[in-house]
Structure 1
Amino acid sequence: MEKPLITQAMIDAYDEYTHLTLDRRRFMERLTALAGSAATAAAIAPMLAANSASAEIIASDDARVTAEDVTYPGGSGEMKGYLVRPKDASGPLGAVIVIHENRGLNPHIRDVARRMALEGFVALAPDFLSPEGGTPSDEDKAREMIGKLDPAATVANAEASLKYLATLQGVNGNVGAIGFCWGGGLVNRFATKSPDLKAGVAYYGAQPAAADVPGIKAALLLHYAGLDDRINAGIDAYKKALEASGKTFEVFVYDGVNHAFNNDTSAARYDKAAAELAWQRTVEFLKKNLG
């Protein structure tokens, strides 16, 4: 079979499946109708999804970093996470919380934490499903579990992650956060509640309520995908609220790319040019704000 053509309608259907109302059976029915056959749909589905086999851009045993699984006190129980440091750092470093998508703490997010460490930060990728026993291997199950998390308790666990990071040896006390998809939304919510978060980077994340924006203390960098109508519907109101409250923020919309454009394990949605530009801006922003 030749490489199948993936249309925007197929990508939109996948987004509805992973974020809104479609279940797996109805998604495959819709994909089959769009693709023209069940066989073609079966070939396309893995290209829309994330492929954990391609998650390691930075090898887990890369000699330039030290990485370990850690546990630490959460808001009301134990949190688990993945802590990564640059191996040959000189002097205290800024720290970054790396917040996963709605799939939980998976190999891709661990890889992003290693990338962040190679940029000169101490990186912690918490598992926000720790209160429910941790991230399962089944992505559908992980999405279901994340949908049931209590928002206030999740923000409390983000604050606990910040406190844990800020006091680690080799950290300069400045902590930021970067999040993707569900994690981007959490960065936005977390920023409205945390007096100590110095910088937040949200990739295609849902916006907080305008009434909560005055509570933001952190500088914000907001990345959006031009084709992501679902999330982009909230940009204007968020910008208006940020401007009215005199907050420090930057917004970038990457034309012609889809939600999850940064996730290089998703062949259909990843956009190399947009991802590299957004990453460059992210690193510069975090270095400016975290030292």
Structure 2
Amino acid sequence: MKKLSKEDISQDVFDLYDDYAHNKVDRRQFLEKLSLYAIGGITIPSLLSFIMPNYIDSIIIKPNDSRLQSDYITYQSPKGGGAIRGLLSKPKKMEVKLPSIVVVHENRGLNPYIEDVGRRAAVEGFITLAPDALSPLGGYPGNDDEGRALQQKRDKYGMLEDFIAAFEYLKSHKDCNGKIGVVGFCFGGWISNMMAVRIPELSA
């Protein structure tokens, strides 16, 4: 069978995946509805392989990039989940203190894509912290399906406190010049907006 292209797939399939990614349908409902589009030689596995994200092959800045110092750290979120793990990235060569960015993940934990976003910004001259709000539950489990299920077990306002604590961590970092921004994706967009409301000096 020939390799699928976007033109082979109905827009309804992408809309269905969007509903699944945003918890509007569960996995069973997602697969049941997806099966309606497995016709004419197109199988469910081939549809899944096309629409599901391929994080590893899409990474732009590798974890071992020689330009960066990128390590996992743990900081405290006393009003949120307690000990929170995050990826802290910064340029290896620093002649002055740098601005910082809190990188907020989607509704599935700190997956490889969000880690890559943190490293991309670090290459451009920022100190970045990409927290994992799933830390109290063991952290990102390695796939988005389980990550979404885990994140639903946490209170969103508790997770908001985790990212506010990340802002405070960066604010006191010895290499930060005091200028801090936030960027978020999906659920992280809500977090970013709420942080901008709560923290007057934050740029979102």
- TM surpasses 0.5: yes
- Residue 173 of structure 1 corresponds to 178
**Which among 7, 16, 37 is matched to residue 10 of structure 2?**
7
- Residue 43 of structure 1 corresponds to 46
- Residue 105 of structure 1 corresponds to 110
Rounded to whole Å, the distance in 1 between the matches of 2:66 and 2:93 is 10
2:111/2:144 contact within 8 Å kept: no
Tell me which amino acid in the other structure corresponds to 2:46: A
- Residue 124 of structure 1 corresponds to 129
- Residue 29 of structure 1 corresponds to 32
| 2:178 maps to 1:185 | no
Rounded to whole Å, the distance in 1 between the matches of 2:44 and 2:156 is 35
1:35 offset after TM fit, Å? 3.2
Q: Tell me, what secondary structure is at the counterpart of 1:60?
A: coil
- Residue 243 of structure 1 corresponds to none
CA displacement, residues 110-134 of structure 1 (integer Å, 9 cap, x when unaligned): 1111100011100110011112221
1:38 offset after TM fit, Å? 8.3
Rounded to whole Å, the distance in 2 between the matches of 1:78 and 1:20 is 27
List structure 1 runs of 4+ shifted beyond 3 angstroms.
Answer: none
- Residue 70 of structure 2 corresponds to 67
Tell me which amino acid in the other structure corresponds to 1:90: E
Q: Tell me, what secondary structure is at the counterpart of 1:149?
A: coil
Rounded to whole Å, the distance in 2 between the matches of 1:196 and 1:150 is 25
Rounded to whole Å, the distance in 2 between the matches of 1:23 and 1:37 is 26
**Which among 114, 130, 149 is matched to residue 144 of structure 1?**
149
CA displacement, residues 10-52 of structure 1 (integer Å, 9 cap, x when unaligned): 0011111121332222212211212316852210112211113
Which sits farther off after the overlay, 145-154 or 109-118? 145-154
Rounded to whole Å, the distance in 1 between the matches of 2:106 and 2:66 is 27
1:75/1:153 contact within 8 Å kept: no
- Residue 153 of structure 1 corresponds to 158
Q: Tell me, what secondary structure is at the counterpart of 2:169?
A: helix
Rounded to whole Å, the distance in 1 between the matches of 2:153 and 2:199 is 22
Tell me which amino acid in the other structure corresponds to 2:3: K
**RMSD between aligned residues:** 1.7
Q: Which runs of 5+ in 1 are unaligned?
A: 201-291
Tell me which amino acid in the other structure corresponds to 2:112: P
Task: Answer 1 or 2: higher relative contact order, Cα 8 Å, separation at least 6.
Answer: 2
CA displacement, residues 48-68 of structure 1 (integer Å, 9 cap, x when unaligned): 111132142111111111111
1:154 offset after TM fit, Å? 1.4
CA displacement, residues 156-182 of structure 1 (integer Å, 9 cap, x when unaligned): 111110010111111101111111111
CA displacement, residues 262-290 of structure 1 (integer Å, 9 cap, x when unaligned): xxxxxxxxxxxxxxxxxxxxxxxxxxxxx
- Residue 56 of structure 1 corresponds to 59
Rounded to whole Å, the distance in 2 between the matches of 1:27 and 1:142 is 16
C-alpha spacing 1:85/1:35, structure 2 compared with 1 (3 Å): same
1:92 offset after TM fit, Å? 0.8
2:84/2:135 contact within 8 Å kept: yes
CA displacement, residues 223-247 of structure 1 (integer Å, 9 cap, x when unaligned): xxxxxxxxxxxxxxxxxxxxxxxxx
Rounded to whole Å, the distance in 2 between the matches of 1:19 and 1:109 is 17
- Residue 16 of structure 1 corresponds to 19
Q: Tell me, what secondary structure is at the counterpart of 1:85?
A: strand
TM-score by length of 2: 0.91
Tell me which amino acid in the other structure corresponds to 2:148: R
Aligned pairs, how many? 199
